[in-house]
Amino acid sequence: MDKKNKYIEVAIALPVYNTYLYKIPLSLNSLAKPGMRVLVPFGKRRVTGYIIARQKQNNGYHIKNIIDILDNAPLFPESMIPFLKWLGDYYIYPLGEVIKTALPVGLNRYDVLFVSLTEKGIKQEKSGTLTLKESKIINILKVKPNCSLKSLGDKLKNSRINTFIKQMEQKGLITVKTLLKQDQAKIKKEKFILKGWGYEKQKLSKKRAAILSIIEKRKEISLKILRKEIPTAPRLVKILSESGFVKIVEREVFRDPFGDPVEPDIPPQLNKEQAEIVSYVKQRMDKGFQRYLLSGVTSSGKTEVYMRLVAKALAMSKQAIVLVPEISLISQTERRFRARFGEKVAVLHSGLSKSELFHQWKRIIKKHATVVIGARSSIFAPMENLGIIIVDEEHDTSYKQDSSLRYNARDIAIVRAKFDSIPVILGSATPSVQSYYNACKKKFHELKLEKRVNKHPLPEITLIDLKKYKNFRGRERLITPELSKEIRKVLDNGEQVLIFLNRRGFATFSVCQDCGKTVKCKFCDISMTLHKDYNEFRCHLCGFSLSPRIKCMKCGSLKINLLGFGTEKIQEMLQILFPDARIARLDQDTASKKGATVRILKKIKNRTVDIIVGTQMLAKGHDFPSITLVGIICADLSLNFPDFRAGERTFQLLAQVAGRAGRGEKKGKVILQTYNPEHFSIKASKHQDFREFYHKEIPFRQGLCYPPFSRIIQLKISGTDKNKVKKYSLMAGEICKNLLRKNKQNEIQMLGPIEAGIPKIALRYRWQILLKSSMGGIINKFVKELICNKKILNQKHIRISIDVDPYLMM
Ligand code: ADP
Ligand code: ZN
Ligand code: ZN
């Protein structure tokens, strides 16, 4: 083997910014590959690291040996390393921790090595040519022929035998197999019937002929479905297969959350708009890095376009990543990719168990799966030969991760595509301001789908000014007569209503009648929400709860006024107004029980509910053709957030909710209630026109120098001691100011330090500093310089995190 490369560069999974050089013992030299984990000495500890590269030379220092190699094969391809390095640099985050974030959690726990004997091992043991330790192992294996590495270690009272075992394997004394632990997800297999060879119809019974003609038409069908049409199918199919008229195969099936198998689909003929776009992108598929923005209202056929381009990538022997927003269940989009690409698809999202996640990961590495579809973390899928990346609903905020490595999968999808020299497509009915700005500046090539495939008109949206009802008492303030009238109509027609409110609970704001103090969480600086479901007040940030019969914390009064409204209250009001209606609710509270979401969605699908009340959980990813009316109780809740993206988010959310109406044959209707009918975000959502919104919004962004005209890095500071956090924040602010002055950096604007919008969460006090600049690179460099300052980082009880391109500014 290559004896020269006996050093490796290792990224340690600890908050350290450098990588380190280690030596590999000669015996392990041929085993070590970039993308594998190693155990290394680090100071007085032993820690896990990732091999980044092989190195020929050392840097002159004394270099330590690695202790062990922890994997038999790389966990990610070497070709991803430049991308991962870029992330560490851009998000100012240690490379080892970037890699840790990129890999599925609980990786090693489910990967079990089993050791067994070889003939050579037995022979050599007999002839006495082995070392003492080697014979010991062979003798254990004689008693227990298939022993896990861990129990072998236990028996030898030595857990660090990985390397030793590998050496024995190399000598041919033993074999080592990697197996997944028992609890791996059970893979369901099912029988499918395919066409066999020729037959003469006349000679067959009616039923057999019917089966054959179904298979003729559909090419293949699952036995389960066939049985629904022809109950005796299982027996008949068996007979038919014995004559060779059909083939029966067992195959892994994928079920949607309702338990129905996903059947293969037949691609429709593209319409003119779609065909033009597909051919435009196809022709350039092998021409390197390109960025596209695909804009098109819901049901304009975007998903079909994605599928054609993915198919093209596969035809070029390449792979594809399709990012979809995070939802608790599989989305329509995933379902459709399954139907089109079957077993080539791997799915990655947070709903999977650790072992299931790992199983998917392995399928990708082994190239059994060539299409990955999933939530934001799928952008790290270990693919070596990508042909295209697609980001559906690119405006969705769930692409931003708001802890540890605070990346935005939409943004880094573009970076990965650049490293891989491939096209990337961002698609949305309501593109983000950022992406549309890039399209206007010709950084992105815009592709437009302007017509709906089925020509169904978009729903008609009526704005209701809630100010008119401000002085009304009771239910009419929230469920206005206009909305009631429409609900009544729909119920009488036997159709369904969706009522949307972006806030859960019963009463969201409770105050003491005597002294005016609000009921607040003991640990967080926010008011508590009364939940009748749980019969308690709850804090939505930390989960702290109080009895509903509380006294005022300040004056002891028992008279607590329950103000503010959430989904629970709306549900109650609707039930009083429409006693005959069957009402269900879908929000974080009702969905918290296992399987609850599926049950509720099933009810909607089977039309055993008439009115469904819910938060944005309802707005994403599902298709309910019999909902003909959408009522938006109060469109302003997200508008009042102290955040420069509040208007953008409101517009996107409203447009998305409105789009839930009228997805079937019948035209939908939307009643949008608001205190701000004149606000441009709300007006634009009435027209479902993102360009209208964009052109109103962009002057504000420019005037205040907010993204896309600048880049922002936010320093989030927190700690449990109120005064220490304040003192530290002020000091950090001073250091920033001095450094800015010293570097004569007038391009960087500093805002703060100030107390955060929510000053306390779970007993941690929070401050922040905002750095803003129209020149992105400068601010990144500045923050790196800043954190080199010992005073900034070396603080015991203070946590400081760097949020590059922040979303949650509170
Ligand atoms: P979007 O992703 O823009 O919401 P979809 O791709 O989901 O749009 O298309 C909406 C519906 O129209 C889907 O049911 C899809 O199967 C169907 N569809 C898409 N393209 C075609 C086509 N060319 N011919 C017939 N049906 C189509
Ligand atoms: Zn009081
Ligand atoms: Zn709390």
3-state secondary structure of 293: strand
Model pLDDT, residue 108: 47
Which residues, other chains included, contact 426 with Cβ-Cβ below 8 Å and sequence gap of 6+?
A: 291, 292, 293, 294, 391, 394, 410, 413, 435, 444
- The verdict on the CB of residue 304 being under 6 Å from ligand 1 is yes
- Token digits of residue 260: 């129905």
Longest dimension (CA), the chain: 98
Model pLDDT, residue 263: 80
d(CA 706, CA 698): 9
pLDDT tens column, 621-635: 677 888 899 999 999
Confidence of residue 359 (pLDDT cuts 50, 70, 90): confident
d(CA 452, ligand 1 centre) in Å: 8
Q: What is the mean pLDDT of residues 737-750?
A: 85
pLDDT tens column, 94-127: 999 999 999 887 664 445 678 888 888 888 888 8
d(CA 561, ligand 2 centre) in Å: 10
Pairing of the two strands 386-391 and 423-428: parallel
Most confidently predicted of 56-70, 348-362, 644-658: 644-658
Decide: 283 and 423 in contact? Cβ < 8 Å.
no
d(CA 299, ligand 1 centre) in Å: 6
Closest CA to 405 of 131, 192, 90: 90
Decide: 637 and 509 in contact? Cβ < 8 Å.
no
Residue in this structure with the two tokens 């509380």, named with its chain if needed = 550
Question: Does 650 score more than 80 pLDDT?
Answer: yes
- The verdict on the CB of residue 34 being under 6 Å from ligand 1 is no
Model pLDDT, residue 110: 43
Closest CA to 766 of 809, 727, 716: 716
d(CA 322, CA 537): 41
Closest CA to 653 of 497, 429, 498: 429
Q: Measuring CA to CA, how many Å separate 392 from each of 215, 306, 413, 430? A: 34, 9, 11, 11
- The verdict on the CB of residue 435 being under 6 Å from ligand 1 is no
3-state secondary structure of 540: coil
Confidence of residue 198 (pLDDT cuts 50, 70, 90): low
Question: Does 183 score more than 90 pLDDT?
Answer: no
Mean pLDDT over the full length of the chain: 87
Confidence of residue 322 (pLDDT cuts 50, 70, 90): very high
- The verdict on the CB of residue 270 being under 6 Å from ligand 1 is yes
Q: Which residues does residue 371 pair with via DSSP β-bridges, in sequence order?
A: 320, 345
d(CA 174, CA 141): 9
pLDDT tens column, 285-295: 999 999 999 99
- The verdict on the CB of residue 430 being under 6 Å from ligand 1 is no
d(CA 4, CA 736): 46
Model pLDDT, residue 107: 61
Confidence of residue 1 (pLDDT cuts 50, 70, 90): very low
Closest atom of ligand 1 to 297 CA is: 3
d(CA 303, ligand 1 centre) in Å: 7
Residue in this structure with the two tokens 């805002």, named with its chain if needed = 751
User: Within 10 Å of residue 661's Cβ, how many Cβ atoms?
Assistant: 26
Model pLDDT, residue 651: 94
Can you say whether the dihedral through the CA atoms of 578, 580, 586, 589 is positive or negative? Answer: positive
Strand order in the sheet with 536-538: 529-531, 536-538, 545-546
Q: Alpha-carbon dihedral of residues 290, 295, 298, 299, nearest 10 degrees?
A: -60
Model pLDDT, residue 473: 77
Q: Following DSSP, what letter does each residue of 613-661 receive, concatenated?
A: EESGGGTSS---TTEEEEEES-TTTTTTSSSTTHHHHHHHHHHHHHTTS
Model pLDDT, residue 111: 52
- The verdict on the CB of residue 326 being under 6 Å from ligand 1 is no
Pairing of the two strands 611-614 and 583-586: parallel
Question: Does 187 score more than 60 pLDDT?
Answer: no
For a pocket test of ligand 1, which of 305, 453, 456, 622 has the largest count of ligand atoms closer than 8 A to its C-beta?
A: 453
Tell me the angle at which helices 646-658 and 690-703 cross, rounded to the nearest 10 degrees.
170
pLDDT tens column, 479-502: 999 999 999 999 999 999 999 999
Q: What is the mean pLDDT of residues 136-162?
A: 82
Closest atom of ligand 1 to 453 CA is: 12
Q: What is the mean pLDDT of residues 247-275?
A: 80
Range of weakest confidence among 405-414, 677-686, 743-752? 743-752
Q: Name the residue with the closest Cα to ligand 1, atom 18.
A: 301
Confidence of residue 302 (pLDDT cuts 50, 70, 90): very high
Closest atom of ligand 1 to 274 CA is: 23
Confidence of residue 185 (pLDDT cuts 50, 70, 90): very low
Model pLDDT, residue 571: 94
pLDDT tens column, 54-89: 887 766 677 888 988 888 889 999 999 999 999 999
Provide the residue type at 163 as one letter: T
d(CA 328, CA 592): 10
- The verdict on the CB of residue 299 being under 6 Å from ligand 1 is yes
- How many helices (DSSP H) and strands (DSSP E) are in the chain? 24, 33
3-state secondary structure of 108: helix
d(CA 712, ligand 3 centre) in Å: 28
pLDDT tens column, 502-549: 999 999 889 998 998 999 888 888 889 999 888 899 988 888 889 988
For a pocket test of ligand 1, which of 304, 394, 624 has the largest count of ligand atoms closer than 8 A to its C-beta?
A: 304
Q: Where does residue 235 rank: exposed (0-12), middle (13-18), buried (19+ CB within 10 A)?
A: exposed
d(CA 290, ligand 1 centre) in Å: 25
Pairing of the two strands 423-428 and 545-546: unpaired
Question: Does 354 score more than 90 pLDDT?
Answer: no
DSSP code for 200: -
What count of residues does the chain have?
Answer: 810
Q: What is the mean pLDDT of residues 187-199?
A: 73
- The verdict on the CB of residue 267 being under 6 Å from ligand 1 is no
d(CA 430, ligand 1 centre) in Å: 17
d(CA 234, CA 236): 6
d(CA 679, CA 698): 15
Question: Does 145 score more than 50 pLDDT?
Answer: yes
- The verdict on the CB of residue 332 being under 6 Å from ligand 1 is no
Q: What is the mean pLDDT of residues 360-370?
A: 90
Higher local confidence (pLDDT), 686 or 177: 686
Question: Does 790 score more than 50 pLDDT?
Answer: yes
pTM of the entire structure? 0.83
d(CA 411, CA 394): 9
